[in-house]
A and B are shown apart, each in its own frame.
Chain A
Amino acid sequence: MSKLNLVQAINQALRHEMEKNPDVVLMGEDIGPDGGVFRVTEGLIDTFGARRVVDTPLSESGIVGVAIGMAAYGLRPVVEIQFMGFLYAAMEQLISHAARLRTRTRGRYTCPLVVRTPYGGGIHAPEHHSESTEAFFVHTPGLKVVVPSTPAEAKGLLLSAIRDPDPVIFLEPSKIYRAIKEEVPEGEYLIPLGEARVVAEGKDVTLIAWGAMLHPTLKAADQMAEKGIEAEVIDLRTLSPLDSATILRSVEKTGRAVIIHEAPRTCGLGAEIAARLCEEALLSLEAPITRVTGFDTPIPLPKTEKYYLPDVDQIVEAAEQVVGF
């Protein structure tokens, strides 16, 4: 085991899977000699060559479109889209084709491809580089959506994503690419998709988060602990399929839920989680389900983005309100 950051852990996972499976092919912009703009694919072209680590023309729709054909033919393409804000040109390919190739052909063709892309705010990036629109993809039947929140999680989830028989959108929180180092198991290390993780146990309130937002959420839980409030923290890690069972089990115990996401509030994933809790745990609820989210505006440019992103104070305030309801 060695201590790695998220970038290194993803790199290790890609390397591991490429060694194991000769059909794994990486495609994207600047992933070759440059190693990707975040250096996630650093050194892979040296080991695996330009045949398997492919710098493509600048065309997101093209990249995803050809990856669909490659996947259906029998390769395992893992594509990198440089930022989530540039994935939109490929929406037609994802929604109309990748997501439904299996069901349209009643299982004759499948589309085992992975789209990796950095997402989220807080990195003082230019316009369109801080998007958090995971709900678009969760809303698309036929796509799986995975968001790691730590280096080890990233490795385990990415290996499962590449081996998954269906298309997976793998969202990498750029804010924490280099912020955390932890022990990452070497070799085979798989975390099944579709299972949330209870990061901290508690009885008073359930805090639900994913990706970069997990970290202020954990800090908020620590601050509340000092005041005697025991928060249970859930890291969703797979947004689709959503692990309702883990969420329900927790909220049935605590009776209170706060959902934290940096995406815009309206129709963010928080809305879906709140709806499920209303449908299935109404009688356990002792307070309104609360959301701490971004506003219904595009995330502002760096000078004011911090006013947009949920922070520890807001999470604590919301959780205390719910507990004191």
Chain B
Amino acid sequence: MPKKIIHEFKVEFLQILDEAGRVDRTLWPALDEKEVKGFYEAMLLIRTFDEKALNLQREGRLGTYASVQGQEAAQVGSATALRPSDWIFPAFREPGVSLLRGLPMRMIYQYWSGDERGSAIPEDQHDFPIAIPVGTHIPHAVGAAWAAQFKGDPVAVATFFGDGATSKGDFHEGLNFAGVFRLPIVFICQNNHWAISVPLSRQTASATLAQKAIAYGFEGIQVDGNDVFAVYTAVKNALEKARRGEGPTLIECFTYRLSDHTTADDASRYRKAEDVAAWRKKDPLVRLRALLEREYGWSEADEQTLRRQAQERVAAAVHEFEAVPPANPEAMFDTLFANLTPDLLRQKEQLRKRLQKKERD
């Protein structure tokens, strides 16, 4: 019996817009000027939202917040490719995706301020709430994709997670189910190279994260995660494939977390300033702006107008967020089950009496 190779694998990498803002026309996804500018507008809005969140946190108006700076292209590219009827299952660093899906910006601030009402997703949206326990939402996304397939609905599911999440059993179990049942799902891994202070080299000995899909019997692709066109193209293709019933895809967006892990973190303890500086040069906004300037006559005045508009939108959302009446503590009982149990009724009454007494004192 000869020894022979019975399988060989390859992993593709996709980049359309390079660091200098030049486009590979052979791979261009046929977007018009309005669409290209729309991408930039969305990315700038997310950056502005994020900078404001960091300020609000410093002023004590938000709790711990996980900044998304550096990952705007990964989020805009994928969110734009999704249809409203598709479902998404985010981790905790996808405010950009949530915003583009139509979640009111106020609610995102509300959630990070420590108010459950920020997770009360509007009825017309197919978005799951944020998942704080890393990777735990991946099987939920798989289950929803299965249900969509079961019901014959023409929808796909996308789930977002980080490089750290690929170490969790949930990730592997989710991908395995998706492969076995050929489910209409796209796994979007934002490989930002860090899981708090733990570098990618401590999550895997694999050359890429994309190749993990191969073991589960489907395609994985790595894209330049700071190139909004590459992300858009890969996610769009994968969603169409899913909707055609041709199964799942894993997309590794190769990107970088420019900020601290959260406002509770100090990344200077564990990573070099030079490394961050090198990635700043690859900032997804900078390269898209360079393209706009070169090919679409984007001027400083256009830039300033757009920035002002973004700031106005963010300011309006902050205003709404701060105008929300204080959370009612009694609400903690109300949505635990469909109906209040006798114990919960009693406990709610206790709390009400306690609050009344406090008011009297």
User: For the side of the interface on B, what is the size category?
Assistant: 35 or more
Binds B, one of A140-148, A226-234, A296-304: A296-304
Separation of A127 and B343 alpha carbons in the complex (Å)? 24
Interface string of B55-96 (1 = CB under 8 A from A): 000000001100000000000000000000000000010000
Interface string of B124-145 (1 = CB under 8 A from A): 0000001011111000000000
Contact (A302, B114) CB under 8 Å given A58-B165, A128-B133, A295-B347: yes
A80 at interface, CB cutoff 8 A: no
Binds B, one of A32-40, A68-76, A162-170, A241-249: A32-40
Contact (A57, B167) CB under 8 Å given A124-B114, A301-B116, A303-B326: yes
Q: B328 to chain A: which residues have CB within 8 Å?
A: 304
Q: How many residues of A contact B (CB 8 A)?
A: 39
**Do B115 and A303 have beta carbons less than 8 Å apart?**
yes
A122 at interface, CB cutoff 8 A: no
Separation of A301 and B64 alpha carbons in the complex (Å)? 12
B164 at interface, CB cutoff 8 A: yes
**Do B351 and A295 have beta carbons less than 8 Å apart?**
yes
Interface centre among A32, A35, A55, A85 (most CB of B within 10 A): A55
Q: B116 to chain A: which residues have CB within 8 Å?
A: 300-301
CB of A301, distance to nearest CB on chain B (Å) = 4
Contact (A34, B196) CB under 8 Å given A126-B132, A307-B351: yes
Q: B113 to chain A: which residues have CB within 8 Å?
A: 302-303
Separation of A33 and B92 alpha carbons in the complex (Å)? 24
Separation of A55 and B114 alpha carbons in the complex (Å)? 30
Question: Which residues 253-279 in B have Cβ within 8 Å of A in the complex?
Answer: 264-265, 269-270
Q: A62 to chain B: which residues have CB within 8 Å?
A: 167, 169
**Do B115 and A30 have beta carbons less than 8 Å apart?**
no
Contact (A89, B168) CB under 8 Å given A33-B197, A301-B116, A304-B332: yes
Separation of A35 and B265 alpha carbons in the complex (Å)? 11
Separation of A291 and B167 alpha carbons in the complex (Å)? 41
Q: A301 to chain B: which residues have CB within 8 Å?
A: 63, 114-116
Question: Which residues 191-208 in A have Cβ within 8 Å of B in the complex?
Answer: none
Interface string of B103-128 (1 = CB under 8 A from A): 00000000011111000000000000
Q: B92 to chain A: which residues have CB within 8 Å?
A: 126
Contact check: which of A30, A58, A125, A300 meets B329 at CB < 8 Å?
A: A300
Q: A305 to chain B: which residues have CB within 8 Å?
A: 114
Separation of A125 and B133 alpha carbons in the complex (Å)? 13
Question: Which residues 20-45 in A have Cβ within 8 Å of B in the complex?
Answer: 29-30, 32-35, 37
B147 at interface, CB cutoff 8 A: no
Contact (A32, B132) CB under 8 Å given A57-B203, A296-B347, A297-B336: no
Separation of A124 and B313 alpha carbons in the complex (Å)? 28
B315 at interface, CB cutoff 8 A: no
A56 at interface, CB cutoff 8 A: yes
Contact check: which of A88, A89, A307 meets B332 at CB < 8 Å?
A: A307
- Would you mind naming 14 contact pairs between A and B with Cβ atoms under 8 Å apart? A30-B197, A56-B202, A57-B164, A57-B167, A57-B203, A58-B203, A86-B133, A125-B63, A126-B92, A129-B132, A298-B336, A302-B113, A304-B329, A304-B331
Q: Which residues of A contact B (CB under 8 A)?
A: 29-30, 32-35, 37, 55-59, 61-62, 85-86, 88-89, 124-129, 265-266, 295-298, 300-305, 307-308, 314
The 6 closest A-B pairs by CB, nearest first: A302-B114, A34-B197, A57-B167, A307-B329, A58-B164, A301-B114
